[in-house]
Structure 1
Amino acid sequence: MTSFHHDDPERAVKVHVTQGESHVTADPNVVMTTVLGSCIAACIRDPQSGVGGMNHFLLPDSGDGRRDGDAVRYGAYAMEVLINDLLKRGARRERLEAKIFGGAKLFDGLSDVGASNAAFAERFLRDEGIPIVSSSTGGVSARRVEFWPASGRVRQRLVAVDNAPQDVRRPTPPPMPAVASGDVDLF
């Protein structure tokens, strides 16, 4: 593969990381991308070795400690997989640094899963001794994130939700005709 400047977005090799996935590379030509709502993406790298990666998780944990096929959706598993893969590729734990994104609250009236996800990621990284050097979490907008692991550069674009209905009202049904006492109409 021909080498080129790793921050050139027009020539980068794009790797899209979807929900429940993680990807690790030391290739300076790779840019990792994802789209987030209430989910979180952790971008973790070792700046000295140039090894970095991204994960994308849906919820903090399963709540019951299970490790079944759905485990990839949960932050506890996704963070462990990403960190272990970084270490296998030559990163050193004491040099790791993180950037986290996502955790939006996209729907009123529902629990704030995004805030729970962001709090989990912050707590997990703090407990692991991995500094968060940058973050953009919360708010009410989805995000497109591009991460160049070799340089640590991240580009975030907020996704407008202007078309989302603010208030959904059900049409009022027409009034029922009066029924004489004792009469029943069956349909």
Structure 2
Amino acid sequence: MADKPVVVGIAEMEVVRDSGKIATYALGSCVGVCLYDYKNKVAGMVHILLPSSSDAIERSNPCKFADSGCKYLMQRMLLNGARQSFVTAKIVGGATMFAVKGPMQGIGDRNVQAVKQALHSMNVRIIAEDTGDRYGRSVVMDAATGKLTIHSVGHGTVTL
């Protein structure tokens, strides 16, 4: 059972080390932020639902938002032995799944931009991304290598 990944749900976050794996499923407009300390083999993932906590009434879950979720994930990684100077990021998701009007219009792209801004403010370099378009993705991250395996129905498998 060592190969079974720890599952990250919507607005959740997990950190694993060494040979652990983390997975999140059905990323549509949400963004999976995958941070990796390549020297200490610490991997973390947060499943971001919305761009900013400042626009929300209910803010009790920091993992729900790009601004607070990225910071919270970094804090948890540091508590698990990561060093921020060795951390890089890969991001997945942010699709436009449905044509909608109103406040949810363009939410996938806004999530991606908010994640990029949050990571930039923490001086974390994004080294790869699979974002946008019109299809969902599921991702598994391997703490031993930092590699992401991304599965998409009708679009195959991509490794970042």
Q: Which moved more, 1:65-74 or 1:15-24?
A: 65-74
The residue type equivalent to 1:95 in the other structure is F
Distance 1:66 1:95 in 2: 35
Partner of 1:112: 106
**Structure ranking higher in strand proportion:** 2
Relative contact order (alpha carbons < 8 A, sep ≥ 6): 1 or 2 greater?
Answer: 2
1:32 maps onto 2:22 in alignment: yes
TM-score normalised by length of structure 1: 0.74
The corresponding residue for 2:12 is: 21
Corresponding letter in the other structure for 1:32: I
Query: Gaps spanning 5+ residues in structure 1: where?
Result: 1-9, 162-187
Q: CA deviation at 1:62?
A: 2.6
Write out per-residue CA displacement over residues 24-58 of structure 1, whole angstroms, 9 at most, x where no aligned residue: 11141x22111200000111011000011111010
Larger Rg: 1
Change (3 A) 1:106 1:67: closer
Q: Aligned-pair RMSD on alpha carbons?
A: 2.0
Corresponding position: 1:59 with 2:50: yes
| 1:122-144, Cα deviation, whole Å (9 max, x unpaired) | 11111211111110110000001
Identity of aligned residues (%): 29
Runs of 4+ with deviation above 4 angstroms: 64-67
